[in-house]
Amino acid sequence: MSKNSYEEGRLNLPFVGHCTFAKSPVCLDWENIDADVAILGAPNDMGTQWRSGARFGPRGIREASTLFSFGHSGAYDFEDDVMYLTREDVRMVDVGDADIVHTDMASSNANIELAVRKILASGAMPVVLGGDHSIHAPVIKAFEGKGPIHILHIDAHLDFVDERHGVRYGHGNPLRRASEMDHIVGMTQLGIRNVSSSNRDDYAAAREAGSTVLSVRHVRELGAEGVLAQIPEAANYYITIDIDGFDPSIAPGTGTPSHGGFQYYEVLEIIQGLAKRCQGRVVGMDLVEVAPAYDPTGVTSILAAQLLMNSIGFIFHARAEARRG
């Protein structure tokens, strides 16, 4: 079993050096990405309907991720007795941000889609840091031809609005836009609750499109294993996480907080269970709506970084286990 090693190389404490995700190497040549995971920022919050600020989410999450990134041999989890994020299991790079053109949603979305297509062409798994949830639409569009894909969606809101006043690509629309794509075969939407931007017709449309919708209370009644039983077997999975799926007591730094949300392990155990069950066949992730200005403590960004790093560890450990037979 590999060990955590601090005997050679720099100590590389969190507050030292360049602020990339998990202190990963930078790769700004998108034609030559050589990694298993590529971290991409999509700092667009023009789809926000109320409090903006998620454009600074990628920076906040990157900075928070340095807390977990020093050391050279991976991260030991004593509960699982597993060393995650080892160099043998996963090579990670930070490819910077898609270019955002202020007030031009179409160009910004095109730039996000292009960036994700470059990552996919390299063979790496994209992990995208939002931005508001509108960024999910161009990200998932980049997966055209790579289906069938089932989406696991963690959120307080259904995000299944079709169109309002001509707006089709705001942060209330992305899962509706995803459902219209041929490579998406269904969705499991968890955490949806309380007063929402979606109406009864939107919920009916989601179910007609093949979505299973479970509130936080439904998830707690079922438990992690019961929720996993609700997620259909699929060739591949994509995970999209809105930080407001978590309770604002642990994730206040978001534009649309909604009380009654998840606690950390409720989401982590579902992601870990899915990664094990599907042997790591998660083809991409995004985490959105972190708005650091509303959380001076920084715990929301830390939560986002911790969840992503654990999830990446679970996914690639499961892939390694599958290879080893």
The set of residues, in sequence order, having a beta carbon less than 8 Å from that of 31 and lying 6+ positions away, is: 118
The amino acid at residue 179 is S
- What is the per-residue pLDDT across 56-86, written as a single tens digit (0 to 9) for each? 999 999 999 999 886 667 888 999 999 999 9
Task: Please answer whether residues 44 and 139 qualify as being in contact, where contact means their C-beta atoms are separated by less than 8 angstroms.
Answer: no
- Mean per-residue pLDDT, 225-244: 97
Question: Residue 72 has what pLDDT?
Answer: 63
* CA 317 – CA 83 distance, rounded (Å): 9
Q: Poorest-confidence range of 6-15, 95-104, 123-132, 309-318?
A: 6-15
The two beta strands, 149-154 and 125-130, are unpaired
pLDDT band with cut points at 50, 70 and 90 for residue 325: confident
Task: Please answer whether residues 299 and 247 qualify as being in contact, where contact means their C-beta atoms are separated by less than 8 angstroms.
Answer: no
pLDDT band with cut points at 50, 70 and 90 for residue 1: very low
* CA 325 – CA 317 distance, rounded (Å): 12
Residue 297 has pLDDT above 80, yes or no: yes
* CA 281 – CA 255 distance, rounded (Å): 31
- What is the per-residue pLDDT across 261-295, written as a single tens digit (0 to 9) for each? 999 999 999 999 999 999 999 999 999 999 999 99
The set of residues, in sequence order, having a beta carbon less than 8 Å from that of 296 and lying 6+ positions away, is: none
Output 199 or 132, whichever has higher pLDDT: 132
What are residue 157's phi and psi, to 5 degrees?
-120, 150
Phi-psi sector, 147: left (phi>0), alpha (psi -120 to 50), beta: beta
- What is the per-residue pLDDT across 121-170, written as a single tens digit (0 to 9) for each? 999 999 999 999 999 999 999 999 999 999 999 999 999 999 999 999 99
Q: Report cis status (omega within 30 of 0) of the bond before 148.
A: yes
The set of residues, in sequence order, having a beta carbon less than 8 Å from that of 34 and lying 6+ positions away, is: 27, 91, 93, 122
Residue 108 has pLDDT above 70, yes or no: yes
What are residue 189's phi and psi, to 5 degrees?
-110, 115
CA distances from 109 to 50, 129, 134, 167, 187 (A): 20, 14, 9, 14, 22
Helix/strand/coil percent split, the chain, to 5:
35, 20, 45
Q: What is the pTM of this model?
A: 0.96
Mean pLDDT of the chain: 95
Residue 3 has pLDDT above 60, yes or no: no
Coil, strand or helix: which one is 230?
Answer: helix
CA 237 vs. chain centroid, Å, equals 12
285 forms bridges with which residues in the sheet? 127, 239
* CA 302 – CA 65 distance, rounded (Å): 7
Long-range Cβ pairs for the range 226-232 (8 Å, 24+):
227/188, 227/190, 227/270, 228/270, 228/273, 228/274, 228/277, 230/188, 231/150, 231/152, 231/188, 231/274, 232/150, 232/186, 232/188
Residue 19 has pLDDT above 80, yes or no: yes
Residue 319 has pLDDT above 60, yes or no: yes
